[in-house]
A and B are shown apart, each in its own frame.
Chain A
Amino acid sequence: MIKVEKLKKSFGANEVLKDINASIKQQEVVVVIGPSGSGKSTFLRCLNLLESITGGHVFIEGIDITAKTTDINKIRAEVGMVFQQFNLFPHKTVLDNIMLSPIKVKKIDPAKAKEKALELLRKVGLEEKADAFPDSLSGGQKQRVAIARALAMEPKIMLFDEPTSALDPEMVGEVLEVMKQLAKEGMTMVVVTHEMGFAREVGDRVLFMDGGYIVEENVPHELFDNPQHERTKAFLSKVL
């Protein structure tokens, strides 16, 4: 589904991703962990070209997204992204946040888009907030709307960049619950998170990144209980 080959990314002289190779299968939930500044967000953002790639290739369903001929807007429409800071559109209601892209990008009939948006709101438990503005929602509610908004484009892959890190602790659960549900339904997901419980329970595989490389990857219980690399051990001893 996603194949990453020799991915490199530099910001000026700062080489953040040095040589990333990974492949993610359909319906797989891959959790990315690693210390701050190790390049996790950058890696995720390269997968939908929010960052331009310095070297290497990213294939999504066999299409090289770095190729000049690739219509990146079309790729992005199929790869949903959820941000740490939610990034809801504050000037639009919850419903409009969700409906906007299906209507403008996919040219879906507004009545159908609305029906779909309401269905997604029901799914994330926020149907009664359809006409509210984002500012009136709690953090957990905002993030659930953001997930619904990404899902409205019917993506094949969902990317999550620390979706619960900006939340008050009591709201983390409701967001993780929605994500678990999505995983159960077979969504392909790449999740950067510090929620090790989630990684263990939902993740099919965990990638540990450090210094611009994927240092170690394994199924969750192996990686957490039996890490092979010193750096993985050092990191886990700090966070677990």
Chain B
Amino acid sequence: MDFRFELIMDYLPFFLRGTLYTIGISLLGILFGTILGLLIGLGKMMKNKILAFPFLLYISFFRGTPFIVQIFIIHFGVVPAIIGTTNGIAAGIIGLSLNAAAYIAEIFRAGIQSIDRGQMEAARSLGMNHVQAMRYIILPQAFKRMIPPLGNEFIVLLKESAITALVAVPEIMYWGRAFQGQYYRVWEPYLTAAFIYFILTLTLSYLLSRLEKRLATE
């Protein structure tokens, strides 16, 4: 097998720029997905079953359909309906955020419900209102327990971001496909892409494990 490093070198600037896009849309997906996930998780936990239902539906839909279907709906349907034209990067970020939010909502719910009921009762008995009790007592404890599953979800999201290549987000996989199309080569583009993703996920899991250790000793 001849492996042509010089072609990789040729494409390296594109891969590097693609890497920045991958990191960028992943970080935005994590950020918005986490905020949205917290809200949706809280929504699903509402005592009123009717009010909680839309949140339940949201979570079921995004967990029960393939990501590639979701992103096509957003790219070809939702985004044009809002801004009048397609926009791959917007669709990518929205898709990743909405999809991650469903999983993160469940992580939040599980984390919050894992905190002993007595904690909420003690906080309330001290005169704190529900919001104060959540903010000072429940969420800080729940958050620690959420870190490992959240970390997993972030890694999943980083890998899923490759699918946004299909809506023309110029990230790593997009350049891999362009590379293949231009030179009719398979090993060079996709091994390079795999290598970059691998470095990214390794770095992310290293950072997460450090955060976990730091919080554990606090």
Interface residues of A (CB under 8 A from B): 48, 50, 73-74, 76-81, 83, 85, 87-91, 100-101, 104-106, 146, 149-150, 153
Contact = CB atoms under 8 A, between A and B. Distances in A.
B180 interface: no
Given A87-B122, A100-B136, 17 more contacts: A50-B121, A73-B128, A73-B129, A76-B127, A77-B126, A77-B127, A79-B125, A85-B118, A88-B122, A89-B141, A90-B141, A91-B141, A91-B144, A101-B126, A101-B127, A150-B125, A153-B126
Given A91-B140, A100-B136, A76 B124 contact: yes
B147 interface: no
A80 B125 CA distance: 7
Interface string B115-136: 0101101111111110010001
Contacts of B132: 104-105
B137 interface: yes
A50 B140 contact: no
A105 B118 contact: no
Interface residues of B, number: 18
Contacts, number: 61
A104 B136 contact: yes
A147 B156 CA distance: 46
Contact of A76 (B116, B119, B125, B144): B125
Contacts of A81: 122, 125
A44 to B, nearest CB: 11
Interface of B: 116, 118-119, 121-129, 132, 136-137, 140-141, 144
B122 A76 contact: no
A96 to B, nearest CB: 10
A50 B118 CA distance: 11
B125 A105 contact: no
A100 B137 CA distance: 10
Contacts of B128: 73, 101, 104-105
A50 B127 CA distance: 11
Given A83-B121, A87-B119, A87-B121, A105 B126 contact: yes
A86 to B, nearest CB: 8
Contacts of A48: 125
B99 to A, nearest CB: 31
Contacts of A100: 126, 136
Contacts of B126: 76-77, 80, 100-101, 105, 149-150, 153
B127 A153 contact: yes
A88 B144 CA distance: 17
Contacts of A79: 125
A134 to B, nearest CB: 11
